[in-house]
Structure 1
Amino acid sequence: MRILLVSSSETETVYLHKAFRESAHSVQAADNLRYALYLASHEEFDAIVISAVGVTLITSLFDALPELARLPRAPAVIVALASGSSQDRARVLRAGADACFVQPYSFLEMQERMLALHRASVARSAQPSATMIQLKLDPLTRDLVEDGKRVLMTKREYLLIECLLRQVNAPVARDQLIRYAWPDKEDVDPSSVNLVVSRLRRKLEMNEFRARVETISRYGYQLASR
């Protein structure tokens, strides 16, 4: 999943950024809600996690939540309050959040709630075709699954194939793949992308997957699933 992480706490940002990345998510961080709204209106995210909400963020939070809920292909919005009562959590949910936690919270529970919201969103938007290969990623095992067959992905392969899966049978720019699969790197050699794609192709061929990764000359790649 691609996650936009918003926090005014550097400690919380470092902790959650590391935890999400270790769980094979692509993460982009923002230190204020105004910048987060700008990013979310220009790029596509599966979830927006707003954490360590205290005095510095609480006022702007209730202004931002309705705007986030109106975004095209609205991402799941998860809020973690620094402190609060059940009434505070209810108020956050009424304002537009999909889930609300109060510190101390369980990262595992937060991630499972986020994944459940994402699965529901995918199910609602899915338009199956009789001619299209049914591909999906299993976040628990980090497998790519095609008609019951499974192949284990590395973290980088997982992120790259996840990015391609967002636009199946459509070209994805190399720069977009780099931002998604290498969110922790500022400068990525194009050969690194080629290497990961080559490994993916070998895995798909060795496991007799029908899906394939095609090169789009001078542009990037696409995942063909027909």
Structure 2
Amino acid sequence: MRILLISPARTECAFLGKALRESAHSVQSTDDLRDGLYLGSLEPFDAVLAVAIDENASRSLDGLLPAFAKLPGSPAVIVIMSDVTARERAKALRAGADACFVTPYSIMELQERMRALRRGTTAATRDPAGRQTIRLESATRELVEGKRRICIGKREFLLVECLLRQANLPVPRDELIRYAWPEKESVDPASVNLIVARLRKKLEAHGFAAQLDTVNRYGYQLRAW
């Protein structure tokens, strides 16, 4: 999943970002709500995760939640708060949040809630007859085509997820880098080439029909049928 994480620079919040990345999510981070709203307007995210664990952040969030709910791609908006009443949680939900967690919370439950909210946008492709051809399973980090399955690494997972969003269409190299390496400002293009080469070997070795094509001077394309 592509997640926009808006949280203060605190140890417990850094742990949340680390846990999400280790679960093969593409995480874009910022510590300011208005900056987060701006980032969310530039490209679509599957979920916006806003951590408002102090009074000032909670007040700011109240006024911005309706705008987050209207971001491109209709991301799931999830709020994490601290020391709030049931009335305050209900207020956040009415303002545009899809879910509200209170500290302490379970990261496992948080991730399952995000997946449930975005179940209709699972990374997968369908052929002209509407049959599913290839998909990703986040729980096991596998690429699945019919009865064939491949276990893939975190970067490979993110790269395929980005390609599946525009299956059978070319995806720019820069977009793939932003998706698979969101925590880095600069990435050597050779890193993308290396992962694509590994994926091609795995697809061929396991008899997948899907193919990864290079689009000269542009990027890559996943041909699923």
Please indicate the TM-score interval, normalised by the length of the shorter structure. Answer: over 0.9
Give the AA of the match of 2:151.
L
> Which position in structure 2 is the counterpart of 1:221?
220
Give the AA of the match of 2:207.
E
> Which position in structure 1 is the counterpart of 2:30?
30
Map Cα deviations across residues 103-136 of structure 1 (whole Å, 9 max, x no partner). 011111001101111113449xx97631765221
Give the unaligned 5+ runs of structure 1: none
Structure 1 residue 13, shift from structure 2 partner = 2.9
Counterparts of 1:87 and 1:120 in 2: how far apart (Å)? Answer: 30
Write out the 4+ residue segments of structure 1 that deviate beyond 4 Å after TM superposition: none
Structure 1 residue 88, shift from structure 2 partner = 1.4
Give the unaligned 5+ runs of structure 2: none
Which stretch of the first structure deviates more once superposed, 184-193 or 99-108? Answer: 184-193
Q: In 2, are the aligned partners of 1:12 and 1:52 still within 8 Å (CA)?
A: no
Q: In 2, are the aligned partners of 1:164 and 1:222 still within 8 Å (CA)?
A: yes
> Which position in structure 1 is the counterpart of 2:155?
156
Identity %: 55
Q: How does 1:109-120 map to 2 (within 5 A)?
A: 109-120=109-120
2:62 maps to 1:70: no
Counterparts of 1:122 and 1:187 in 2: how far apart (Å)? Answer: 28
Map Cα deviations across residues 141-182 of structure 1 (whole Å, 9 max, x no partner). 100111232111111100110111111111111111111111
Q: How does 1:70-89 map to 2 (within 5 A)?
A: 70-89=70-89
Which stretch of the first structure deviates more once superposed, 37-46 or 2-11? Answer: 2-11
Give the AA of the match of 2:172.
A
The number of aligned residues is 225
Q: In 2, are the aligned partners of 1:8 and 1:56 still within 8 Å (CA)?
A: no
State the Cα RMSD in Å.
Answer: 1.9
2:61 maps to 1:61: yes
TM-score (norm 2): 0.93
Q: In 1, are the aligned partners of 2:126 and 2:133 still within 8 Å (CA)?
A: no
Structure 1 residue 43, shift from structure 2 partner = 1.3
Counterparts of 2:131 and 2:201 in 1: how far apart (Å)? Answer: 21
TM-score (norm 1): 0.93
